[in-house]
Amino acid sequence: MPVIREEDFIQSIADAFQYISYYHPVDYIRALHEAYVREESPAAKDAMAQILINSRMAAEGHRPICQDTGIAIAFIKVGMNVRWDTKKSLEALVNEGVRRAYTDRDNPLRASMLADPDGKRVTTGDNTPAVTHVELVPGDEVEVIVAAKGGGSENKSKFACLLPSDSIVDWVLNLVPTMGADWCPPGLLSLGIGGSPEKAMLIAKWGMMDPINIHELKARGAKTHAEELRLELFEKVNALGIGAQGLGGLSTVLDVKVSEYPTHAASKPVALLPNCAATRHAHFVLDGSGPATLDPPSLEDWPRLTLDLATSKRVNLDTLTKKEIATWKAGDRLLLSGKLLTGRDAAHKRLVDMMARGEKLPVDLANRFIYYTGPVDPVREEVVGPAGPTTSSRMDKFVEPVLAKTGLIGMVGKSERGPIAIDSIKKHGAVYCIAVGGAAYLVSKAIRGSRMVAFPDLGMEAIREFDVVDMPVICAVDSKGEAVHKSGPAQWRARIGKIPVAVA
């Protein structure tokens, strides 16, 4: 009877979370590179290049692919013949492994977990607890899948109890455009169909961990209804033209997974879960012979790409005026240099509350740009850890009071803005730019200095001032209110209607 030692299990969990923080699964890299080669939209191609370059840098530097190092998820299948050499619960063992991984001294990961989701929202400090799912199965082994899921893509999870006669294809094709780019495409969509509501969500999450293999399915042809659905959705979702980062293009999804479970005659529960540009999961098996060994991938699997900066306009943030930004057009590629403030959800809330109380702000925002980011802590010679953009729409409700009362002229984040933010941007002649979600380590290399400016108690959400040099961004909403996330997908959807869709 195999005996699983406590320390072997904990260390295997810790090693796996470290591993996935800097190594993309190789199947994701291959699929993304193939999509990059096929891509005809210059903006989407550039975004994919940044994700691929970032991925190689993360793999080489053993630093996180994305600043959001995720909520830790573990799926564990325990063989019923296995005995455990521990007095702790399986959940406690997973949490100890997560704690060890996220507080690693060489590669600390961001602690994003909050103890009280509807209270003060105070971080637990070590990214615990994980979300652990356990299944007892016949056998002599323990099979583990760990995943780190970013908030941007988790927040776009969808569930519905459809009528038995409803079309799942129609449901998906109506939903995906409403998800925008907050989930950082290109990635995967995973559907769970059947069971009860929680079962549908669970099988969708589990199915997301399967390798990307739509190319093989296309080559051999569908044999089941689920496989037919995968092929149909892959083609039709890509034909929506959303593209990498929602900029418009041929590839929105690199695969579509479908998992099914029997269900009640009156029901058709369906879950739709996206996996983002920071697709991160690892699989290992313990048989009692010691901790798992996760072999590093070969860097030969990563393409060698360089950023094409020839068509980008250089911008000096320190001398920038409203007159200058008024000349920018949605879709312009820019390289920002100079002083760039940071701030995201908690900092914005605090600034707006202070303004409402008539208090003096701790930072002068006039003629400045603010970057929505919550970086990973730096190590060794780093100025800052991976510092990619966070979802901007969460800050939409703060845009009007901040632009109206502080003189801020620009924002940098990721994905689209909602109508209230766009109206304010237009009204105040400001601009909104995007950096590429999932290219956090690459972006951090453009940051040459960082100093704390306000609210240090907010941790990664504090306001800092970065010194940036040639930070690549795209003007996503110009001062006239033109938005690239509206025009790009519309243009590419129309074009895909006339050209072959992204084929596997």
Where on the chain is the footprint of ligand SF4 (CB under 6 A)? Answer: 66, 68, 150-153, 183-184, 276-278, 388, 437-438
> What residues are paired with 314 via a beta bridge?
335
How distant, in Å, are the alpha carbons of 59, 395, 483 from that of 55?
A: 6, 27, 28
Q: Which residue has the tokens 């619960």?
A: 89
Nearer to ligand SF4, 184 or 365 (CB): 184
Residues belonging to the active site: 348
Helix (H, G, I), strand (E, B) or coil at 253: strand
**Which of 152, 472 has the CB closer to ligand SF4?**
152
Instruction: Report CA dihedral (265, 266, 272, 273) to the nearest 10 degrees.
Output: -80
Q: How far, in Å, CA of 405 to CA of 399, rounded?
A: 10
Q: What is the SS3 assignment for 361?
A: coil
Q: In this structure, what token pair is assigned to residue 224? A: 């089941």
Q: 32 with 48: CB under 8 angstroms?
A: yes
Dihedral (C-alpha) 437, 442, 445, 451: value to the nearest 10 degrees? 20
CA angle centred on 485, ends 484 and 491, rounded to 5°: 75
In the complex, least distance from residue 437 CB atom to ligand SF4, rounded to whole angstroms? 4
Alpha-carbon distance 271 to 160, whole Å? 7
Place of tokens 């006669």: 165
Total residue length of the chain? 504
Name the residue nearer to ligand SF4 (CB basis): 151 or 177: 151
CA-closest candidate to residue 349, choices 388, 394, 389: 394
Q: Which single residue brings its beta carbon nearest to ligand SF4?
A: 150
- How many other CB atoms are found less than 10 A from the CB of residue 421? 24
Q: What whole-number distance in Å separates Cα of residue 374 and Cα of residue 439?
A: 14
Residue 66 CB, nearest approach to ligand SF4 (Å): 3
Give the whole-angstrom CA distance, residue 459 versus residue 471.
23
Task: Kindly state the smallest distance separating residue 296's Cβ from ligand SF4, in Å.
Answer: 22
> Which CB sits closer to ligand SF4, 61 or 401?
61
Nearer to ligand SF4, 280 or 348 (CB): 280
For the bound state, the minimum distance from the C-beta of residue 182 to ligand SF4, rounded and expressed in Å, comes to 7
Our CB check for ligand SF4 shows the closer of 268 and 280 to be 280
Nearer to ligand SF4, 150 or 410 (CB): 150
The minimum distance between CB 270 and ligand SF4, in angstroms, equals: 22
Contact 123, 377 (CB under 8 A): no
Residue 178 structure tokens: 């409403």
CA–CA distance, 357 with 401 (Å, rounded to integer): 13
Is the distance from CB of 474 to CB of 331 less than 8 angstroms? yes
Per-residue b or e along 217-245, where b marks 16 or more CB atoms closer than 10 Å to that residue's CB: bbeeeeeeeebebbbbbbbbbbbbbbbbb
| Residue of 356, 362, 355, 336 lying closest to 462 (CA atoms) | 362
How much of the chain is helix, strand and coil, in % rounded to 5? 35, 25, 40
CB of 268 to ligand SF4, least distance (A): 28
Decide whether 242 or 292 has the Cβ nearer to ligand SF4: 242
Query: Nearest CA to 144 among 103, 203, 94?
Result: 94
Smallest distance, Å, CB 162 to ligand SF4?
Answer: 26
C-beta of 438: minimal distance to ligand SF4 in Å?
A: 3
The residue (of 79 and 472) whose beta carbon lies closer to ligand SF4 is: 472
Nearest distance in Å: CB 188, ligand SF4: 12
Determine contact, residues 131/416, Cβ cutoff 8 Å: no
